[in-house]
Structure formats: structure tokens, C-alpha cells
Amino acid sequence: GLNSPFIESDYNIIQGLTFAKAPGAGINIITGASNNTISDSYFGTDPDGINDWGNATGIKISSGANNNTIDQCVISGNDEDGVLITGNNTDDNFVRRSIIGLNAAGTGKIPNGWDGVAITNGAEHNLIGGQLPTGDGHGNVISGNNQRGVYLSGVDTISNDIQFNYIGINKSGGGTPDVGNLSHGIMLEDGPDANSIFFNVISGNKEHGIYVRGTGTSQTTIRENIIGADPELNTVIPNYKHGVAVYEGAYRNDIGAHDTFWKGNVIVGSGWSGIAVVGSWDNEINNNVIG
């Protein structure tokens, strides 16, 4: 219940702490602070990662803070967003190997009240996930949240990468028990541009797997994801609505692959269509497997 701590300097390491019951964010990284690392810590749960001890927001990175790393944390049970990255020049931050919306074991829900990760208001070049899958790699498990798993919004929210995450499933890649996000797996709206969604498993979410909507939301690249199944493609874990939905003026988005170097997406088991494009234009859909 103490006031939220702030980081306003560079090259700090915070490790092995529990941040709980704060009226604001568990921790705020602000005012151009850079090259800080927060690891092996709990934001919104008890030190065992079992009980909900939520902050308002888990971690907030804003006001031009850049090149900061969140690594191997449990970020669950917060009243609002698990991780909020927001504002112009809040760039090049890295969220990896964390559990966002589940218990520490990655098996059951301790939901964040809003989104697992939100990137808004002009934040650029942030990486959610990494170059390797979950487990011993860099990906996150972003599941069980009361709204979206990952949410991007606002003009100038550009060139962010979401890759190698499990979104809507448990840490082992399964759908039992049900830990889907209660809204979309990933949503982009109201103007984000040139963001990429690669190599994720996006399954079990209660609305669309990926939802791209709104005038100005453009040049989203969606490639080599598994949408609606487990990572090994052995079991269907359906998203309840469309696998991928592009709506309401979103344009020039790219779903799939154009050449032999890249592969398209595997989109299966959707409650509605595999891919739906409504009221949008100049989008490309190539070389996906849809079933």
C-alpha cells in the first residue's frame, strides 16, 4: 500500500522484489530513464505468485523512458494494465520471459483488470517477446487478462514488435484449464502504423485472435503465427470469433507471406471466420493455412 516507486535515472538493476498493493503503478520508469533492468520480481501478486495483491498498474514506462528491460517477472492481478508503455519517445523497451495475467506456474488465472501489455500514444520500437520461443527463450505468456492480451493504440505508435509469445494459453502451451484473455488476443486500433506480429501462438481468446481496426491503422504485418491451436498443431484451442479481423478503415495490412523466405500463418478452429476484412482496403492476404 506504499506510494509507487519511480526510476528517473539510468543503468539500475532491480531484482527479486515484490511490488504489491500500490495505489499507482508497482513501479514507474519515467523522464528519459534508460538502460534499467527489472528482473525476477512480482508485480501484483504475493511473493509466491499465487495470490492477488494487485497494484493499480503493474509496470508503467512513460515520459520518454527508453531501452529498459523487464525480464522474468510475474505481472498479474493488477487492477488496470499489467505493463503500460506510453508516450512519445518511450522507445526501444523490451518485455521478455515474463508471465502476465497468470500465476507464477503459468497454469491458472490471476488476471490484470485491463490489458496484459498496452503500448499507446506514440511509443515506438518496443519489443514484446524476443528472438526465441517461450520456455528458455525470450517469449512471454500473456493470458488470463480481463481485456486484451496485447493492445496498441494511437497515431505514431509505430514499429513495435510482438513475437514469440503465448497469448491466451498456459505456460506449457495448452488450453486446459481455460486461461484465454477475455477480449482479443492482440488488438491494434486508432492509428498504429508499421507494427509486426510474428511467431506467436494466439489461441483460446474470447473474441478475435488478432483485431486490427480504425482509420489510420495500417501496415501491420502478421506472419508465421499459430492462431487457434497449440504450438505443436496437435490440438485446436479456438479463438471464439475471427482468427484475424481487419475492420473499420484499417488499410495496407499484410497477413501472410509473399516469398519463400517467410511463411504465412496457420489459422484454425475460429468460432467465426479464419480471416475477415470488413470496411477496409488495400490489405494483402497470402499463403496462409486456414481451416
Q: To the nearest whole number, what is the mean pLDDT of the chain?
A: 96
Q: What is the pLDDT of residue 284?
A: 97
C-alpha span between 167 and 160 (Å, rounded): 17
pLDDT over 70 at 237, yes or no: yes
Least confidently predicted of 182-186, 234-238, 257-261:
257-261
The total number of residues shown for the chain amounts to 291
Closest Cα partner for 178 from 201, 200, 149, 203?
203
Of 153, 165, 274, give the one whose Cα is nearest residue 216.
153
What is the residue-wise DSSP string for 183-203?
S-SEEEESS-BS-EEES-EE-
Split at pLDDT 50, 70, 90, the class of 1 is: very low
Distance between CA atoms of 288 and 159, rounded to whole angstroms?
23
Contact 181, 151 (CB under 8 A): no
pLDDT band at 136 (very low <50, low <70, confident <90, very high): low
pLDDT tens column, 29-66 = 999 999 999 999 999 999 999 999 999 999 999 999 99
Buried b (16+ CB within 10 A) or exposed e, 25-48: bbbbbbeebbebebbebbbbbbee
- What pLDDT was estimated at residue 131? 76
Paired with 158 in beta bridges are 193
**For the chain, domain boundaries:** 1-183, 215-290
Rounded to whole angstroms, the Cα distance separating 230 from 210 reads 16
SS3 percent helix, strand, coil of the chain, rounded to 5, is 0, 35, 65
Q: Find the mean pLDDT for residues 169-175.
A: 97
Average pLDDT over residues 160-176: 97
Mean pLDDT of 265-288: 98
Task: State residue 134's pLDDT score.
Answer: 66
Q: What is the pLDDT of residue 94?
A: 98
- Residue 3: the pLDDT is 66
The stretch 234-241 carries a mean pLDDT of 99
pLDDT band at 133 (very low <50, low <70, confident <90, very high): low
**What is the distance between the alpha carbons of residues 131 and 26, in angstroms, rounded to a whole number?**
27
pTM (predicted TM-score): 0.97
pLDDT at 5 over 80: yes
pLDDT band at 135 (very low <50, low <70, confident <90, very high): low
Q: What is the pLDDT of residues 78-108, one digit of tens each?
A: 999 999 999 999 999 999 999 999 999 999 9
**Is the per-residue pLDDT at 210 higher than 60?**
yes
